[in-house]
């Protein structure tokens, strides 16, 4: 369980970081808090030639929480957010589910988004809240909508030389539901679901967080929680099984969670 050898740089400016990421023929990886990347290195599932440590980049820090708007720099640690007043309720409710407190002290918003574990909370929250994700490379900047960001397990719309700068959500206040089934508090979810302003998202079910348009239409047309919503969700959830639970478990428990988060958000 020891990482393979790699080169390491700790740039002091965003421009320097982007040049480093562009310069290794796609073999450089950004290092945020390391809470997901370092296990991948230790298990030798990733073998980057160069790690670019982002901790000294002021452009990637900072939290702006005002009514109707939340903007979070990519290198913001989850512990910093937990200590921030005025967060939208759904974000505050999701934070304690992110690993254990010893992980949240190092883990970052941008690191989790860019890593894209299908069971992680940030990609699901981003989709649920229709977040705008700002990315930069030496070629320029662009904004990626959350719906276009997560592609599959450990795969996002970010190019190898691109860096995530921030997450912005608007109108994230208001009633919500957010629930997970996990083996221990802080473990990765076996199944998770969220509901906010008519959007319904499940995660830890398949390769990436999934919106459930059929369930959303049902809610939009005035249908409430109940057997009909559960049946719609169970049919709609695109689930895979693994060593922990089966695909059928994820569909059935996911449908129950959808029912409960819809009731909480009503």
Contact residues: another protein, CB under 8 A: 1-8, 10, 31, 34-35, 38-39, 41-43, 51, 53, 55, 79, 99-103, 105-106, 184-186
105 vs 168, beta carbon nearer another protein: 105
CA–CA distances in Å: residue 254 to residues 99, 188, 214, 237, 245: 20, 15, 14, 8, 12
Looking at residue 172, the DSSP 8-state letter turns out to be: -
Pairing relation of β-strands 163-170 and 176-182?
unpaired
Positions of E strands within the chain: 7-9, 28-31, 50-53, 63-66, 69-73, 132-137, 140-145, 150-152, 155-156, 163-170, 176-182, 189-196, 199-203, 210-211
* Cβ atoms of residues 50 and 20 within 8 Å: yes
Extract the tokens encoding 11: 């740039």
Q: Using the minimum distance from each CB to another protein, give the nearer residue, 43 or 235.
A: 43
Which of the 8 DSSP states describes residue 206?
S
The encoded tokens of residue 240 equal 């895979």
Nearer to another protein, 106 or 170 (CB): 106
- At its nearest, how many Å lie between another protein and the CB of residue 41? 7
Distance between CA atoms of residues 64 and 121, nearest Å: 20
Query: CB of residue 4 vs another protein: minimum separation in angstroms?
Result: 7
* Shortest CB 127 distance to another protein, Å: 25
Q: Which is nearer to another protein, 37 or 144 (CB)?
A: 37
Q: How far is the CB of 120 from another protein (least distance, A)?
A: 14
Rounded to a whole number of angstroms, the minimum distance from the CB of residue 209 to another protein is: 22
Q: Min. distance of Cβ 223 from another protein in angstroms? A: 35
Residue 166 exposed, middle or buried by CB count within 10 Å (0-12, 13-18, 19+): buried
Closer CB to another protein, residue 108 or residue 210? Answer: 108
Look up residue 54 and give its two tokens. Answer: 């982002």
Q: Which is nearer to another protein, 6 or 249 (CB)?
A: 6
């Amino acid at each position: 369980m020891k990482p393979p050898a790699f080169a390491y740089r700790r740039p002091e400016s965003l421009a320097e970081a982007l040049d480093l990421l562009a310069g290794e023929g796609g073999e450089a990886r950004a290092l945020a808090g390391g809470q997901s990347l370092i296990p991948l290195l230790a298990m030798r599932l990733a073998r980057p030639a160069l790690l670019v440590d982002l901790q000294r980049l002021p452009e990637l820090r900072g939290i702006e929480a005002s009514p109707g708007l939340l903007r979070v720099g990519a290198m913001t640690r989850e512990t910093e957010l937990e200590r921030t007043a005025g967060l939208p309720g759904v974000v505050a409710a999701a934070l304690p589910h992110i690993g254990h407190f010893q992980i949240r002290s190092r883990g970052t918003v941008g690191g989790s988004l860019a890593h894209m574990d299908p069971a992680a909370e940030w990609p699901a929250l981003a989709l649920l809240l229709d977040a705008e994700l700002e990315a930069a490379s030496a070629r320029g900047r662009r904004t990626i909508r959350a719906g276009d960001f997560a592609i599959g397990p450990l795969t996002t719309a970010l190019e190898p030389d691109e860096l995530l700068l921030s997450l912005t959500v608007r109108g994230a206040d208001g009633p919500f539901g957010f629930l997970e089934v996990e083996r221990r508090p802080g473990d990765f979810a076996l199944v998770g679901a969220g509901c906010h302003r008519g959007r319904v998202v499940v995660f830890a079910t398949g390769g990436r967080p999934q919106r459930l348009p059929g369930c959303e239409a049902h809610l939009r047309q005035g249908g409430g929680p109940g057997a009909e919503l559960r049946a719609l969700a169970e049919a709609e959830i695109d689930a895979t099984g693994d060593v922990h639970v089966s695909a059928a478990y994820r569909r059935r428990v996911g449908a129950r969670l959808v029912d409960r988060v819809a009731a909480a958000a009503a």
